[in-house]
Amino acid sequence: MNKIKLSQIVKYLGANLVGEETDVIEGVAGIEEAKDGDLTFVSNPKYVSKIKDTNASAIILSSKISLENLPSKINYLVMDEPYLGFCMVLDKYFNPFERYHKIEQPSYIDANSKLSDSVYIGAFAYISEGVELGENVQIYPHVFIGKNVKIGNNSVLYSGVKVYAGCEIGDNCIVHSGTVIGSDGFGHAPMPDGSYAKIPQVGNVKIEEEVEIGANCTIDRATLGTTTIRRGTKLDNLIQIAHNVEVGKNTVVASQVGISGSTKIGDNCMIGGQVGFAGHIQIARGSRFGAQTGVPSSIKEEYKDWMGTPAMPMKNNLKSMVLYKNLPDLEFRIRNIEEKLKL
H/E element, 341: helix 314-341
Q: How confident is the model at residue 95 (pLDDT cuts 50, 70, 90)?
A: confident
Q: How confident is the model at residue 326 (pLDDT cuts 50, 70, 90)?
A: confident
Tell me the C-alpha distance between 290 and 311, whole Å.
9
Query: In this structure, is residue 98 part of a structural domain?
Result: no
> What pLDDT was estimated at residue 8?
95
Tell me the C-alpha distance between 56 and 154, whole Å.
33
Tell me the C-alpha distance between 304 and 302, whole Å.
6
At 4, give phi and psi (nearest 5°): -120, 130
Catalytic option among 101, 176, 243, 280: 243
Query: In this structure, is residue 103 part of a structural domain?
Result: no
> What pLDDT was estimated at residue 56?
96
Could you tell me what percent of the chain has a pLDDT over 70?
Answer: 99
The count of domains in the chain is 2
Question: What does the pLDDT average to over 331-342?
Answer: 87
- Check whether residue 147 and residue 262 sit in a common domain: yes
Q: Is the pLDDT of residue 343 over 70?
A: no
Question: What does the pLDDT average to over 162-185?
Answer: 98
> What pLDDT was estimated at residue 323?
86
Q: Is the pLDDT of residue 1 over 70?
A: no
Tell me the C-alpha distance between 127 and 124, whole Å.
10
Give the pLDDT confidence of 200-225 residue by residue, as tens digits: 999 999 999 999 999 999 999 999 99
Of 249, 239, 184, the residue nearest 214 (C-alpha): 239
- Check whether residue 175 and residue 230 sit in a common domain: yes
Instruction: Select, from the ranges 89-93, 229-233, 332-336, 339-343, the one with the highest average predicted confidence (pLDDT).
Output: 229-233
Tell me the C-alpha distance between 230 and 248, whole Å.
5
> What pLDDT was estimated at residue 285?
98
- Check whether residue 189 and residue 310 sit in a common domain: yes
- Check whether residue 119 and residue 83 sit in a common domain: no
Q: Check residue 86 and report its DSSP letter.
A: H
CATH number reported for the structural domain that contains residue 220 in this entry: 2.160.10.10
Taking residue 341's Cβ as centre, other Cβ atoms within 10 Å add up to: 7
Tell me the C-alpha distance between 98 and 293, whole Å.
39
- Which residue range is the domain that position 33 belongs to? 4-93
Question: What does the pLDDT average to over 281-299?
Answer: 98
Query: In this structure, is residue 302 part of a structural domain?
Result: yes
243 is catalytic: yes
How big is the chain, counted in residues? 343
Query: In this structure, is residue 99 part of a structural domain?
Result: no
Q: What is the torsional sign of CA 8, 11, 17, 20?
A: positive
CATH number reported for the structural domain that contains residue 15 in this entry: 3.40.1390.10
Could you tell me what percent of the chain has a pLDDT over 90?
Answer: 88
> What pLDDT was estimated at residue 97?
82
Q: Is the pLDDT of residue 2 over 90?
A: no
Bridge partner list, 190:
196
Tell me the C-alpha distance between 150 and 341, whole Å.
76
> What pLDDT was estimated at residue 23?
92
Residue ending a domain, among 49, 65, 93, is: 93
- Check whether residue 63 and residue 209 sit in a common domain: no
Q: Which range has the worst mean pLDDT, 25-39, 105-119, 291-305, 322-336?
A: 322-336
Q: Check residue 299 and report its DSSP letter.
A: B
Q: Is the pLDDT of residue 316 over 90?
A: yes
Query: What's the burial of 230, exposed, middle or buried (CB within 10 Å: 0-12/13-18/19+)?
Result: buried
- Check whether residue 77 and residue 143 sit in a common domain: no
Give the C-alpha distances (Å, rounded to integers) separating 313 from 293, 297, 299, 304, 310: 11, 13, 11, 7, 10
